């Protein structure tokens, strides 16, 4: 009995990765800006890195603002070790997403494949940045990998 109580069920910590609108089109979408990797290729690389760091990942993508908010709310009630978010264009427009992220108690890392601050002025403001513990931008896939390392507290 005592022995059984000492053996804790092994549960790997999970990091939630939320991708916003048009990121499902990576590979086809403006490759000169976003590169040629598809979202599922990015997911595969993240899965491998996460595994090396002792984490699992839950990767999602939606084109719908409300769905992204539902997933953030799910994370409020869930058991995630952290959130990596690339909200796509909603980064620059969504006060609702900002409000949802404000409720989260787990660390948030913002990622962008491109560097929005080096692009059109309408991309310069981020509603997610004030809530993020770190932002990785302009580094393509590496930004996601660095975000995983950041959440694992193991800098690359
Ligand atoms: C993006 C940058 C945003 O400005 C843009 O709307 C995107 C992608 C990026 O990953 O570089 O959809 O978030």
Of 99, 112, 116, whose CA–CA distance to 146 is shortest?
A: 112
Catalytic pick from 90, 112, 144, 149?
112
22 lines ligand 1 (CB under 6 A): yes
Window from 43-47, 104-108, 144-148, 150-154 with minimum mean pLDDT: 150-154
Backbone angles phi, psi at 104, to 5 degrees: -70, 140
Structure tokens belonging to residue 146: 């660095």
91 lines ligand 1 (CB under 6 A): yes
pLDDT over 90 at 8, yes or no: no
Size of the chain in residues: 156
* Domains in the chain with CATH codes: 17-152 (3.40.50.9100)
pLDDT at 145: 98
Report how far apart the first and last C-alpha atoms of the chain are (Å, whole number).
43
Residue 33 DSSP symbol: H
Atom of ligand 1 nearest to the CA of 21: 12
Atom of ligand 1 nearest to the CA of 87: 13
CA–CA separation, 33 and 139 (whole Å): 11
Q: Catalytic residue at 34?
A: yes
Q: Catalytic residue at 127?
A: no
pLDDT over 70 at 4, yes or no: no
pTM, two decimals, is 0.93
The pLDDT tens digits of the residues spanning 55-109 come to 999 999 999 999 999 999 999 999 999 999 999 999 999 999 999 999 999 999 9
């Amino acid at each position: 009995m005592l022995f059984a109580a000492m053996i804790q069920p092994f549960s790997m910590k999970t990091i939630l990765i939320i991708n916003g609108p048009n990121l499902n089109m990576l590979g086809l979408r403006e490759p000169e800006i976003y590169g040629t990797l598809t979202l599922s290729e990015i997911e595969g690389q993240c899965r491998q890195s996460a595994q090396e760091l002792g984490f699992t990942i839950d990767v999602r993508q939606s084109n719908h603002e409300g769905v992204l908010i539902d997933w953030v709310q799910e994370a409020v009630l869930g058991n995630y070790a952290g959130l990596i978010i690339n909200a796509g264009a909603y980064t620059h427009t969504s006060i609702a997403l900002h409000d949802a992220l404000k409720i989260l108690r787990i660390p948030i890392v913002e990622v962008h494949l491109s560097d929005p601050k080096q692009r059109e002025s309408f991309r310069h403001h981020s509603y997610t940045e004030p809530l993020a513990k770190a932002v990785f931008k302009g580094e393509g896939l590496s930004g996601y990998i660095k975000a995983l390392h950041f959440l694992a507290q193991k800098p690359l």
